[in-house]
Every structure is written in C-alpha cells, then in structure tokens.
Structure 1
Amino acid sequence: MSRRRPRASFAIGTVKVRAGHAREVGLPITRLVTGADVSLPVHVVHGRDDGPTVWINAAIHGDEVIGVEVIRRVLTKVSPKTIRGTLLAVPIVNVLGFMNGDRYLPDRRDLNRSFPGSARGSLAGRIANLLMTEVVAKCEVGIDMHTGSDRRSNLPQIRCDVDDPHTLDLARAFGAPVIFHAKLRDGSLRYAARERGARVLLFEGGEAWRFDEWAIEAGVRGVLRVLAHLGMIEPVEDEPPPLSLICRRSGWVRARRTGILQMEANLGQVVTDDERLGGLSDSFGRRLRLVRANRAGVVIGRTEAPLVNRGDALIHIAEIEQENETPGQAELAEPSE
C-alpha cells in the first residue's frame, strides 16, 4: 500500500513552514532611528491536508484593536494538525501606527488607501506591497478586520460585493447581523486583493481603542464559520449561522444644531423614517432639537461623542433590501450600551 505524499512546505519570506506545523514569522519593514528593526508579524498555520489558503488581517488602521483580539482568539481554536489548507494571520498590519496609538502612519498616510503599494515607494506603499506579495498573492480568500473611527462604534457587519455569488456565500456563512454592499475604493486592500483574484470580506465592528466584547465575539464566531464553510475546520456550532440583513444604501443623520447629545438609538435597531432617535440640548439642559431618522432601515453605526457640532455625523442608517426572519433588532452578542 503506497503512502500518501506529504504536503509541500509553505514558503513565506525566507522561511518554509512544514505541513502540520505553525510558525510565527516577522517580515522586515524598516528600521527605527534607534537601530531597532520593525517587522510585519505573520502567524502561519500550515495544515497536513490540502485545502484553501486564507488570510485574516487586522489593524491596517493603528487604532483598530478589536481585530487583533479576534485573531488571537481564532488562533487558539485552530491547529496545524487538523486544519485543511493554510491560514495566514496578520494581527497588526500598521505596526508603527499601532505602537504610537495612531490610526495613520508617521507620515500621516492612510495605509488602506495605499494598496497595492510599491517596494520602492513611501513607507505606506512598502508595507502595502509587502502584505500583497507575501500574503495576499498566496491566498484565495481574505478577511480584513476593522472598527469604527473617530469616536464612532459600528454594528458587526460584513462589507463586500453582494453581487458576486461566491463572496455573498462567504458573507452569509460569516453570520454578521448586516451584510452591506460596499463599492470598491481605489487604494484599499479589498480593491487590490480583488484585482489579484481574491475574494475579500471586510468586517466592521465596535469602536477604536476599545475591546467591545460583543464585537470581538461576533468576529471570532464569524471567522470560524467561514473557515468551516470552506472546509478548513469542523463546524464549531451545531446550528446554521443567523440570517443577515442585506443592505445596499445608507446615510448619516447629522446634527442640525451644536449641543450636547442624548443618544437614544442602539446599534442594530430597526427604525422608521422620522422616528425619534435622540435629542440635543444646551449646557443648561434646554432642548435645542430632536434627532430623527432620515430614512427607514437599521442602525449600523453611531457616534459615541457627547458634544457635537452642527453637521457632525450622529447615526448611520442602512436601508434594508432583504429582511431577516425576525426583523426589529439585528442580533448582537451584547447590547451596544
């Protein structure tokens, strides 16, 4: 009886990871003025059996820490001895921004507008090029983890190309409360990866510089569901993923006056047009104006700032194209407040 030929090692950077093994790899980025090297951390989980090659990344924006914790927890639940295929986990892409507590790189560039990058370009371009050549180019599917920015929190949601059936299948498998059809932006990781033939899910959930447990749990469960859907791991849940609301259009309710905000809208709340969602008052407590919905839909984002200026974005409402079986509140692990 002939023995099965072992799976080839996985090459990344100057390292080769044997089948059935996991390894942490540091891909060189730059050197600090102190002489210390800065590298892109990649955790390779290379299974014994053939299967898809998938990447998951977080902290393209340095202040978005929820995805870092999602990846940490996911890695505790997968083993190179049992996984089929290969998982590449990049917990911190914007290493310098992460260390400085800053959304952007030291030159103020937005890394998610710098893809596919260039090996001879700016610092942002070099990091983007490194991620594209060493990680994305070797994968068929990717999950890009994000959170709200600028004192905003987001409902756990998947942003993707809903019109691509295979991508939509992956998004449904993730099981987030909302699937939002998001157009591709030039310079984004999702755009560059799609040009290379990879299908990408962009996860949004929670607030920057916070470990919102309900968003972390939604992210962990979603990633594991996708890996199971691709046949890389055994399903971790007995029940199918919850149905998601499908949305294509959205808009922000903006402050009509400057004042102190009393927020009444919750993430995941399904609202009607002109429904009361909060109010604005002055420092003496006098009501200045009510905050009302400007469309019917589901609340997918909101500001967490108590003081707002006229024109500030307050509540993000997505119009529902396809209803869940139980509309009224998109499912959250924990309330948003």
Structure 2
Amino acid sequence: MLRKLKIFDTIIEPGKNYKLNFNMAKLYTSTSVEVPVIISRSKKAGPVVLITGGIHGDEINGIEVVRQLISKKINKPKIGTIIAIPVLNIFGFLSGTREFPDGRDLNRVFPGVKSGSLASRFAYQISQEILPHVDLVLDFHTGGAQRFNAPHIRISQLEIESWNLAKIFNAPFLMHGKNVKKTFRATCSDLGKPYLLFEGGMSNRSDKNVVATAVNGAIRVLDHLKMLPDQIKVPQITEESVIITDSKWVRAKYSGLLHPKVAYGKKVEKNEFIATITDPYGELRYKVKSPHAGYVLNVNYSPLVYQGDAIFHISRNEA
C-alpha cells in the first residue's frame, strides 16, 4: 500500500516528479536563496531513499555525484521514492567555503534547533521535514583542506544493515568508524535510518574517477533495493572492498615544502619512502617513511606544511 508522503507542505503523488525549493533564508541583499529538492516517486510502493551532496559547500565531488544520478535518470525509481538534494549547503557552495554563513559546520549541528543559528535551523528542517519519511540515506562527501581521500565508505560495524549495504556499494575501502555526535550520520543512526557516508577526493576539485566510483556504488545499492530503472546497467563487482579497522595519521616532522611520492589507495610497506620535505633554500631534504605497512587512505597535496601537520593517513590491521 502506498503511504502518504508530504514534504514542505507538498503532497508527493505516486508517479510524479517534483522540484521543491527549500527556502529558509536570504542573502544580505534580500535575495532569496533556494535549495532545490528533487523528488521522483514511482506508482509502486517501495523504499524512500534520500541522496545528498554538498553538506560542506566546497565538496564538489559529492555535488557532482548527485548531479550525475539525476542527469542519467538513475533517480527515477522503478518502485518507491528517491529524494535528491545535490547541494545541501547552498550558502557555502556560492562562496566556495565549507561552512554556513554563520561560521558553523552544518554537519556538526544536527538534528538542529528550530530557533537556533542559521545552520542549526537548516538542520532542524531537514530532520523534521524529510528524515521521518526516509528509509535509507546516501550522503556523498570529499576530503578537506587539500587532503585527498581515497574513495571509501565510513561506517560502524555495529550498524548491521548499513554495513551490509556498504558491501553492496563496494567502494575500494570500507572503513569502520564510530559516529560523531551532532553529525547527519549520527542523527540518522539515532532515528534507526540506514546511512552510507561516502568519502572521496578533495575539496574544491572534481575528480572523475572518484565520482564514477560513487555513482556506480549508488547504482548497485538501488539495484539491490529493486529501485533501479530498467535501462541502467549495473556495474559488476571485480574486487571486494578492503575492510579497514584501524589507521594512523603520519605527521610532518619539519615545516617546509611537501613532495608526496605515493598516490592514494596504494599499499605501502613499513619504512617505504613516501614523501620528502624540503626548505626553500636547498639545505633541508627530509625523507618521510611509512611507520607501518598499510593502504594510503589520504594524501595531503598542500605544497607547504608546518611541523605536526597531517600529511598521510595509512591503514593498520586491514582485513
């Protein structure tokens, strides 16, 4: 039986498509800022899947993933409903920044407060108006501050349904990680909503390989839920995800110019040469070596680093 679906005072009818404008605040110029919410509902009953990108305004890869899912009509479900929000943080997207105009990280204020800060009010509306209808969330992120994340799903092994769906998604790496309070992910977990957090690439840059990995994963999950449109081909799984249960950051021993020598995703051995740090004057040339064997999960591509800066994230005890 088809359930009633009402979002932002709009009844979502079976077999119809909607583009709702989530309008919460204005710019200083009194110009309205609209957050498009794109909804497609089948005539047949099924799950409601929320697909989001751009919770941080500078995470372009996540936005591009959701855009491609819409452009390729993957968001037109055979059963159920797909709600797609390509840019959650439209304010940050306009300014090329991670945060909301109030300086807050949207992904640290969930489930939000009705009378709180701008970011908190926005999170509250998402939590109240959309999440109650949702059966699964696919949320697409990237690395920040010139740090490039190897494509992975970050999830807790304690959340069995989400963990099983993450295996079907089949990102190159599947990283066990605890929920962080006040995140979108933690709020979904508290509500009992399965949630997949995809990370890949770096801020303010689009990477076609990372985007393709994420789009293919979403296709596999929708196919598993029997929601995938018939004309969409399902990418085959060639290798199982590498499961990461522990990892450690390698930090710069000296300040200077950083020259990474290994790419993200590569498996390195203990004491393998992975980068150099130099000074501008030709006197310092320090070789950075991996402290242990593992996969390179994140590479810092900033040309300049200070002593103590995180420069590589390398797995330990992978399964």
**What band does the TM-score fall into relative to the shorter chain?**
over 0.9
Question: How far, CA to CA, are the matches of 2:47 and 2:71 in structure 1?
Answer: 19
% same residue: 34
User: Is residue 2:199 matched to residue 1:204?
Assistant: yes
Within the candidate set 198, 206, 209, 1:214 is matched to 209
Question: How far, CA to CA, are the matches of 1:78 and 1:241 in structure 2?
Answer: 25
SS in 2 for 1:321: coil
Match of 1:162 in 2: 157
Aligned-residue offset at 1:237: 2.4
Match of 2:252 in 1: 255
User: Is residue 2:271 matched to residue 1:296?
Assistant: no
User: Is residue 2:51 matched to residue 1:56?
Assistant: yes
The structure 1 segments of at least 4 consecutive aligned residues displaced by more than 6 Å after TM superposition are none
Match of 2:311 in 1: 314
User: Is residue 2:132 matched to residue 1:130?
Assistant: no
Partner amino acid for 1:248?
T
Match of 2:85 in 1: 90
Cα deviation digits, residues 7-55 of structure 1 (max 9, x gap): 4563211222321221111122112332222233211011111111110
User: Is residue 2:59 matched to residue 1:47?
Assistant: no
Within the candidate set 265, 268, 273, 1:271 is matched to 268
User: Is residue 2:225 matched to residue 1:230?
Assistant: yes
SS in 2 for 1:311: coil
Question: How far, CA to CA, are the matches of 1:80 and 1:54 in structure 2?
Answer: 9
Partner amino acid for 1:126?
R
Root mean square deviation of aligned Cα:
1.8
User: Is residue 2:98 matched to residue 1:103?
Assistant: yes
- Report which stretch shifted further, 82-91 or 235-244: 235-244
Structure 2, unpaired ranges of 5+: none
Partner amino acid for 1:64?
E
SS in 1 for 2:39: strand
Judge conservation of contact 1:253–1:292 (CA < 8 Å) in 2.
no
Question: How far, CA to CA, are the matches of 1:158 and 1:21 in structure 2?
Answer: 32
Partner amino acid for 1:132?
S
Question: How far, CA to CA, are the matches of 2:313 and 2:226 in structure 1?
Answer: 35
Question: How far, CA to CA, are the matches of 1:192 and 1:209 in structure 2?
Answer: 26
Judge conservation of contact 1:46–1:80 (CA < 8 Å) in 2.
no
Q: For 1:146-185, list aligned pairs within 5 A.
A: 146-185=141-180
- Report which stretch shifted further, 184-193 or 313-322: 313-322
SS in 2 for 1:34: coil
Cα deviation digits, residues 61-104 of structure 1 (max 9, x gap): 11111111111111133367652111111111111111111111
Match of 1:118 in 2: 113
SS in 1 for 2:214: helix
- Report which stretch shifted further, 81-90 or 68-77: 81-90
Question: How far, CA to CA, are the matches of 1:81 and 1:56 in structure 2?
Answer: 12
Corresponding residue pairs, total: 317
User: Is residue 2:87 matched to residue 1:71?
Assistant: no
Question: How far, CA to CA, are the matches of 1:118 and 1:180 in structure 2?
Answer: 31
Partner amino acid for 1:151?
Q
Question: How far, CA to CA, are the matches of 2:209 and 2:237 in structure 1?
Answer: 19
Question: How far, CA to CA, are the matches of 1:320 and 1:25 in structure 2?
Answer: 46
Partner amino acid for 1:292?
K
Judge conservation of contact 1:245–1:320 (CA < 8 Å) in 2.
no
TM superposition score normalised by structure 2: 0.94
Structure 1, unpaired ranges of 5+: 323-337
Question: How far, CA to CA, are the matches of 1:41 and 1:52 in structure 2?
Answer: 21
Partner amino acid for 1:224?
I
Judge conservation of contact 2:148–2:298 (CA < 8 Å) in 1.
yes
Question: How far, CA to CA, are the matches of 1:93 and 1:188 in structure 2?
Answer: 14
Partner amino acid for 1:265?
V
SS in 1 for 2:318: strand
